[in-house]
Amino acid sequence: MKYSASIFIRTDNETLERFTDEENIYNYFKELFGKKRSRVIEESFSAPDILTKLNAVFKSSGINNLVRITHDDTDFFMDTESVPNDLDEVIHKFKDTLHNAFARFYEEITVVMESRQSQIDYVIELLLLRVHQVGEYPIQINFSGLAKSTGVVDLENKFKLLVNKMEQNIHKFMDVRDVTISFTKKIAPPDSQVTQEEDFDLEVNTKPNFQTKKCTFFPLYGVSLGETTVKELAKEGSKAKGKDSNNKRYKYYLVNDMNFWHDKHTATHMYLTYTNPIPQKWRNCGLDWDLTYNEWVKLFEQLGFHISHAKLPKKEWYNGKRTLAAQFHASKKTLKNIQLVFDLDFNYSQKTSVNSKGTIYSLGIKAN
């Protein structure tokens, strides 16, 4: 049994105006020639001040063992020697670093902590976004809890106790505008490899109500990845007519306006972007281009897929504006022992939040 939860925090922060292309030196000369540069109104906050208050929240909640601090893509601290009770000391050093050099030159801070309480091993991850759009949650705390042994009694309530205690301390030590909590428990049945997931006690319902029971992706239009032969593909659809840059014919068959790529023997993979319609069979499973990043992750977890993050969500520049950039893989074995892997790529949307709709760019599916 594994439990997880997230606390989303929005604070009372000052607003600021900045140029969307401020990191592009070429665009600096637009002002000289009288051309208007794009501006955006965003919120920001003092990371050192927020970290000071969050440090008090963690200590009062009995969390003081630091594992890692990441400043954008750079590790500031990594606890390679498993030193206990080091959170307070390292946070204060990191605050000095922010004050002295990087207070205005970072996008994201990640702090990972560990704790053992009531015979439960916890991993706590703090995600801090320095600049974010007005109305978004710039602070997120993720909890993951696993019982030390199978004999732990009342595991669910013990897990919820820590999360609720954390929420109380957030209100005690921080000036917050809004706090949202989401709980999840994952159950692995002894007679099945499929992971089921149930929601409980949502203070604010931030998760979609997907209908995921008895959901199957294949066969789709008579084709199953990893099973349907090339000869069978030829009977179902028409062969690709286009050629690639090496003047070789594309290896796919068009079946009901859907491209099924193949190797020498069988159908192997598919690739869709947000401009392609999602097949109705998959829409019945909950797939929708309008889902948020968090909803995509939630959906595949509900469907029993294993999630691996190839690229954690972060803000990147696209076309003079920031965009959410992320990538994760969702994998699961079928009843015929074929590994289905969904590759989801988020980019180019010019939206920056994991809770913003329509940030996905492409969806790839392959059979291994």
Mean pLDDT value of segment 262-283:
94
Q: How far apart are CA 33 and CA 323, in angstroms?
A: 27
Res 28: pLDDT: 52
pLDDT of residue 298: 93
pLDDT digits (tens, 9 = 90+) for 74-114: 777 777 766 777 787 888 777 766 655 555 566 778 888 88
- What are the tokens at 354? 């994991």
Dihedral angle, C-alpha 317, 318, 321, 323, nearest 10 ° = -70
* Residue 96 vs residue 61, higher pLDDT: 61
Kindly state the helix (H) or strand (E) to which residue 18 belongs, with its residue range. strand 15-19
Position 227 scores a pLDDT of: 95
Instruction: Please report the pLDDT score of residue 22 as a whole number.
Output: 47
pLDDT greater than 60 at residue 33: no
Among residues of the chain, what percentage have pLDDT more than 90?
35
212-216 LR contacts (CB < 8 Å, sep 24+): 212/285, 212/286, 212/299, 212/302, 212/303, 215/284, 215/285, 215/286, 215/303, 216/281, 216/285
Phi and psi angles of residue 115, each rounded to the nearest 5 degrees, phi first? -160, 150
Strand, helix or coil for residue 351: coil
Question: Among 141, 137, 132, which residue's Cα sits nearest to residue 57?
Answer: 141
Residue range 164-213, pLDDT digits in tens: 999 999 999 998 888 888 877 654 444 434 333 333 333 333 334 444 44
Structure tokens given for 303: 């469907």
Element (H, E) at 183: strand 176-187
Q: Count of residues for the chain?
A: 368
Structure tokens at 176: 């917050």
**Please, which residues have CB within 8 angstroms of residue 235's CB and are 6 or more apart in sequence?**
none
Confidence of residue 345 (pLDDT cuts 50, 70, 90): very high
Nearest in space to 186 (alpha carbons), one of 171, 201, 196: 196
The C-alpha torsion from 199 through 54 and 132 to 16, rounded to 10°, is: 150
CA distance 74 to 69: 9
* pLDDT tens sequence across 309-343: 989 899 888 777 889 999 999 999 888 889 999 99
For residue 17, the model assigns a pLDDT of 63
